[in-house]
Structure 1
Amino acid sequence: MSQSTAQRVASLESPEVWQTVCEHRDLVSHSGVVVWLDGAQVALFYLPGAEGRTLYAIDNHDPQSGANVIGRGLVGNIKGEMVVASPIYKQHFRLEDGSCLEYPQQRLRVWPVRLNGSLVEVGVA
């Protein structure tokens, strides 16, 4: 693992600052909710009952269409990977790392996210 990759992984696991973006009650199970974070639209996906993580934060901007629509995408599981399908061209992005299954050169930004009591917090550098 390169030093920059190691630093990125470490920052995703333990960001220096957590910013509150909404409350738990604002989330919709098995669906996306979009919040504003430091000039970016971030799609939050809440997947209660899923194995592993239950909350993901990923860029709302679809690089193929140029539209801010990822938060409206359908969530699913492809070969054990939790994904969201863009509602326009239907390409699938892994919620874990933002990579696109159909177009490996496309990647969405992801943020660390957590529930802190009733608050939803996103990690910022």
Structure 2
Amino acid sequence: MSNKTIWTAVCGQSDLIPNSGICALVNNIQIALFYVQKEQSVFAIANHDPFSQANVLSRGLIGSKGDDLYVASPVYKQHFCLKSGRCLDDENTNIQAWPARIENGQVQVFF
């Protein structure tokens, strides 16, 4: 039987910190979850920073550049798009990003 991609409950909406990040372990992968209050949206990206080789992106600061919402790594300050995982400072670097939503008070990530 093949692996299916499904919406996976990760935490409760009350666990989120507005305009900040938290880390969750899902399927043995550290995920950084960001709740952007102004947009009423939650974003899920890999917590691993490829530049510092540390699991720290959930501790980064949220900002925006044009239409891109990003998190700035707390180590070397590279900016990663919250929607796509694209590094805004290095076109050759991307991190994993997953669709995320809030359903019935639960944060769900599409894995």
Q: TM-score, normalised by structure 1?
A: 0.83
2:81 is matched with 94
The aligned amino acid for 1:30 is: N
CA distance in 2, matches of 1:120, 1:54: 10
Aligned-residue CA RMSD (Å)? 1.3
Tell me whether 61-70 or 100-109 shows the greater mean CA deviation: 100-109
- Structure 1 segments (4+ residues) deviating >3 Å: none
In the comparison of the two structures, how many residue pairs are matched?
A: 108
Structure number with higher helix proportion:
1
CA distance in 2, matches of 1:17, 1:80: 28
CA distance in 2, matches of 1:100, 1:16: 25
CA distance in 2, matches of 1:61, 1:90: 13
Instruction: Flag structure 2 segments of 5+ consecutive residues without an equivalent.
Output: none
The aligned amino acid for 1:74 is: L
CA distance in 2, matches of 1:95, 1:77: 10
Question: Structure 1 residue aligned with 2:65, among 62, 78, 85?
Answer: 78
CA distance in 1, matches of 2:38, 2:78: 25
> Among the aligned pairs, what percent are the same residue?
41
Question: Structure 2 residue aligned with 1:55, among 34, 37, 42?
Answer: 42
Instruction: Flag structure 1 segments of 5+ consecutive residues without an equivalent.
Output: 1-14
Whether contact under 8 Å (2:46, 2:95) holds in the other structure is yes
CA distance in 2, matches of 1:113, 1:68: 20
CA deviation after TM superposition for structure 1 residue 16, in Å: 4.1
Matched position secondary structure for 1:64: coil
